Amino acid sequence: MPSRVGEVHTVAASASTYLQRLCKHFGKKIDVTYTEDVGHAHFPFGYCRMVAEDQRLTFECRAADHEGMQRMQHVIDQHVGMFTKRTPLQVTWHEKSAP
């Protein structure tokens, strides 16, 4: 099961704001639960846990296969770009280390 971690570094302590906006938006189409600091999104092709810490938003993602992981990364990348048009931010992705 592929796992990846993505990070976005925000310009101000606004990671929580972005997390809540993303979760609210995703929640229109998929099962999402969230607080100010943590969100859980259940996509048809995988699962993503989002964590907001001051100036960093982290995406911890799992998918059944590589195609599902690529789809999830694409959806997250597109939406981060959409919600940060004024100050464009980009997700930096890397393989998740085994526990």
What is the distance between the alpha carbons of residues 23 and 26, in angstroms, rounded to a whole number?
Answer: 5
Secondary structure class of 22 (helix, strand, coil): helix
pLDDT confidence of residue 32:
98
pLDDT confidence of residue 1:
83
H/E stretch holding 83: helix 66-83
Q: What confidence category does residue 98 fall into, taking pLDDT thresholds of 50, 70 and 90? A: low
Q: Is the pTM of the predicted complex or chain greater than 0.85?
A: yes
CATH class of 3-95: alpha beta
Region 3-19: mean pLDDT is 90
List pLDDT tens digits, range 35-89.
999 999 999 999 999 999 989 999 999 999 999 999 999 999 999 999 887 888 8
**Distance from CA of residue 25 to its chain's centroid?**
12
